[in-house]
Amino acid sequence: MQPDFVYTLTTPTGWQQRIRISLLEEHGAIAIPDTFTPPDWAALSYNQCSHCPLNPHENRYCPIARNLAYLLPESALGDSFQAVLLDVETPQRRYQQETTLQRALSSLFGLICALSDCPHTRFLRPMAHFHLPLSSDTETLVRTASLYLLHHYIRNRQQPEQAVSLDGLNDRYRALNELNRCFTDRLRQHGESDASVNALVLLSITTREMHWNLEEELGNLAALFDDSDA
């Protein structure tokens, strides 16, 4: 297996939840034991996303819901604004920051989504392998756009007729917006805590702003690359 990601959430009273994400060596997917039986709410047909291309007859479980059900026991949930110390170990380094439970879960959900075999989140997998917990909107924009262009550049080396551009990134984020909306409804219908639901709401806000303001935000970054004095 590849090196793990480990999220540790600690409250001021000392309550602690440790969530380890192990990856399969061959394709980087989340490792889940064959003995794990997902709950009913993880079924693909349970409030299936409106734009999901998967067939319930061929895919019994939603890839994201199955991973969440395995990695996030309900005992980990609490009030959205519960203060926590977030400690994240990645294969490259370790991060610590005081934050709220909903922000910590939002960061964790983003990582799990990117590592899940959902057709709408597969393009985020390279970001997952260079995970930056609690990243700002600008940091998310830079990482997403950079890795999206790198993907197209690598593909262009093998298929020179393929253009290297950000065309299509807005469509990707439009699909993520819909996924987050539908998944929030899935958790609400299941009766999850407000922290889980609000964590996905935070993700929805980030992806929505990325979609609406992509060109504007890229314009704001232009000054960083000003080489007029070079």
**pLDDT at residue 21, rounded to an integer:** 94
Q: Which of 84, 48, 56, 90 minimizes the C-alpha distance to 181? A: 48
What average pLDDT does the structure give for the chain? 82
Exposure pattern of 129-159 as b/e (b: 16+ CB <10 Å)?
A: bebbbebeeeebbbbbbebbeeebeeeeeee
**pLDDT at residue 37, rounded to an integer:** 92
For the stretch 42-70, pLDDT in tens is 899 998 999 999 999 999 999 998 998 89
Q: Is the confidence at residue 90, as pLDDT, over 90?
A: yes
Comparing 43-52, 70-79, 109-118, 133-142, the range with the smallest average pLDDT is 70-79
**How far apart are alpha carbons 12 and 84 in whole angstroms?**
7
Residue keyed to tokens 């970054």: 221
Query: Is the overall model pTM greater than 0.75, yes or no?
Result: yes
Domain positions in the chain: 2-225
Cα angle 62, 64, 69 (rounded to 5 degrees) comes to 90
- Of all residues in the chain, the percent with pLDDT exceeding 70 is 82
**pLDDT at residue 183, rounded to an integer:** 82
**pLDDT at residue 194, rounded to an integer:** 56
167: left (phi > 0), else alpha (psi -120 to 50), else beta? beta
Please return the burial class of 82, using the count of CB atoms within 10 Å of its CB with bins 0-12, 13-18 and 19+: middle
The two three-digit tokens of residue 159, written as one number:
């298929």
Q: Is the confidence at residue 4, as pLDDT, over 80?
A: yes
Q: Is the confidence at residue 205, as pLDDT, over 50?
A: no
80: left (phi > 0), else alpha (psi -120 to 50), else beta? alpha
H runs (alpha helix) in the chain = 63-71, 101-115, 125-128, 137-158, 169-190, 194-212, 214-221
For the stretch 160-192, pLDDT in tens is 777 777 778 888 888 988 888 888 888 777 665
**pLDDT at residue 198, rounded to an integer:** 56
Tell me if 77 sits within 8 A of 196, measured CB to CB. Answer: yes
